[in-house]
Amino acid sequence: MQEQHQRAILHLDLDAFYASVEQRDNPVLRGRPVIVGGDPQGRGVVATASYEARRFGVHSAQPCRQALQLCPDAVFLRPRFEVYRAISQQIQAIYRRYTPLVEPLALDEVYLDITSIVGEDLAAAAQIARAIKQEIVEQTQLTASAGVSYNKMLAKVASAHQKPNGLTVITPQQASAFLDALPVGKIFGVGEVTEAKFKDLGIFYGRELRQLSLERLQELFGKRGTDLYRFVRGEDNRPVEPERERKSVGQETTFERDTMDREEMLAVLEHLTEQVAQRLAELEIAGKTITLKVRWHDFQLVTRSKSVATPLGDVQAMMWCLRPLLGQLLAANRPVHLLGVTVSNLMPQSGSGGRELVQTPSLWGPADEEVSEL
Ligand code: TTP
Ligand code: MG
């Protein structure tokens, strides 16, 4: 496969991160199904499940109630973000001893560019991955899965290939065969909706996706079609970007079918907001501005923002802002294709965590609105 910028990239991803930490810290939980997330009697979702629980079909983002039905013997635990954050920092210190080019994607997931150490020699890169995995186990008693390849996308595909505790190398010679057999949902940039669209077209694996011409992909997915065309050919020139300064935390989702159903939209908004709140808590930050993004059925984009005096961290406060913003936009009476929530104007969280942040509406400033059409 052709690649303009040949690099040596590692992707490391801790195995069942939150659940493994809980099992590490409480030996009684080892070998048992453990689910970290919300209240199984309430409306929370699964953050992660130990591999023992995954065997029952439990997975991230599933409602906890459903997880309880699938796996009644599971131990349900609330996340301990402070602990996960401390471990994440401990592990990042290991990475930084190898290279300053460390790009964290999540608390347990990272890209490293080690080209300056090994050049294009992926076998040497794999040795480094092995050494790093070993150091992580020694220092934290946790396992990571590593992917080694010549770009970010393939390194990430590789790390997911043999989980848990895996180490997979994808060389330029192997890339084509790997991508042929890859389910389209695993290709970078393919979410559930795109995956469903491909299934309708009878496209399940990379080898089928590669049959589509650039023009056809652009017709189907616009600019993203170009990226998909490149990715499925193993081409990805995105550099590893260390310590980007974070300007916002956001989540968005596309509806399988464009909708005008307000209740459905509110449920989706609440789910997105939960994910944003969790990410803010992980990063120990909160933000003073919340933005609702709506893409209409005709792909026009509209955003509405509200700024508040006390930084937003918890779901209730965010939903309090979002409901009226949604109400204003829905007055347009147009089918909605996508909803997104972003918190910006970020600052360190005061106190011990956003979940305890108390918001009272009277503290909030006036709404500022902005409409942008694409
Ligand atoms: P992942 O790396 O996606 O999952 P994982 O580490 O639990 O399992 P594995 O990598 O072995 O498949 O996410 C890392 C942590 O992020 C996870 O332990 C919990 C948290 N998380 C959520 O809170 N919600 C989610 O929807 C996901 C996917 C992860
Ligand atoms: Mg992980």
Q: Domain residue spans in the chain?
A: 1-170, 177-231, 248-372
The pLDDT of residue 148: 98
Q: How far apart, in whole angstroms, are the C-alpha atoms of residue 232 and residue 227?
A: 9
* 40 alpha carbon – ligand 2 mean position (Å): 22
pLDDT value of residue 1 = 52
Q: Are 20 and 142 in contact (CB under 8 A)?
A: yes
Token output for 354: 């956003």
Q: What residue owns the CA closest to ligand 1's atom 29?
A: 47
Whole-number pLDDT of residue 283: 84
Of 160, 134, 122, 139, residue with least CA distance to 11: 160
The token pair at 82 is 């402070």
Q: Strands of 144-149's sheet, edge to edge?
A: 102-106, 109-113, 9-14, 144-149, 167-169
- pLDDT for 366: 32
Q: What is the pLDDT of residue 4?
A: 56
Q: How far is CA 78 from the centre of its chain?
A: 20
In terms of Cβ atoms closer than 10 Å to its own Cβ (0-12, 13-18, 19+), residue 154 is: buried
CA distances from 52 to 55, 77, 143 (A): 6, 15, 15
Q: How many CB atoms lie within 10 A of CB 96?
A: 13
On whether the CB atoms of residues 1 and 234 are closer than 8 A, the answer is yes
Of 1.10.150.20, 3.30.420.40, 3.40.50.300, 3.30.470.20, the CATH number of 177-231 is: 1.10.150.20
Tokens of 373: 């059409």
**Most ligand 1 atoms within 8 A of CB, residue of 17, 54, 64, 163 to mutate:** 17
373 is known as an active-site residue: no
pLDDT tens-digit map of 255-304: 989 999 999 999 999 999 999 999 898 888 999 999 999 999 988 889 99
List of E strands, the chain: 9-14, 34-37, 46-49, 75-77, 102-106, 109-113, 144-149, 167-169, 248-259, 285-296, 301-312, 336-348
Ligand 1, pocket residues at CB < 6 Å: 13-18, 47-48, 60-61, 106, 108-109, 163-164, 278
Nearest CA to ligand 1 atom 20: 47
Q: Could you tell me the two tokens for 105?
A: 């994607």
Fold of 1-170: Alpha-Beta Plaits (3.30.70)
Characterise 111 by phi-psi region: left (phi > 0), alpha (psi -120 to 50), beta (else): beta
pLDDT in tens, 61-104: 999 999 999 999 999 999 999 899 999 999 999 999 999 999 99
Across 20-93, where does the E strand assignment appear?
Answer: 34-37, 46-49, 75-77
Q: Ligand 1: distance of its center to the CA of 47 in Å? A: 6
Of 3, 22, 103, 109, the active-site residue reads: 109
The ligand 1 atom nearest the CA atom of 14: 6
> In terms of CATH, what superfamily is 248-372?
DNA polymerase, Y-family, little finger domain (3.30.1490.100)
Atom of ligand 1 at shortest distance to CA of 18? 18
Report how far Cα 127 is from the mean position of its chain's Cα atoms: 28
Q: Terminus-to-terminus CA distance in the chain, angstroms?
A: 35
DSSP letter for 332, please. T
Positions of the chain with pLDDT under 70: 1-5, 244-245, 350-374
CA 142, CA 149: separation in Å to the nearest integer? 23
For position 244, what pLDDT does the model report?
63
Angle formed at CA 174 by CA 169 and CA 178, multiple of 5 degrees: 85
Report the residue count for the chain. 374
- Euclidean distance between CA atoms 273 and 277, whole angstroms: 6
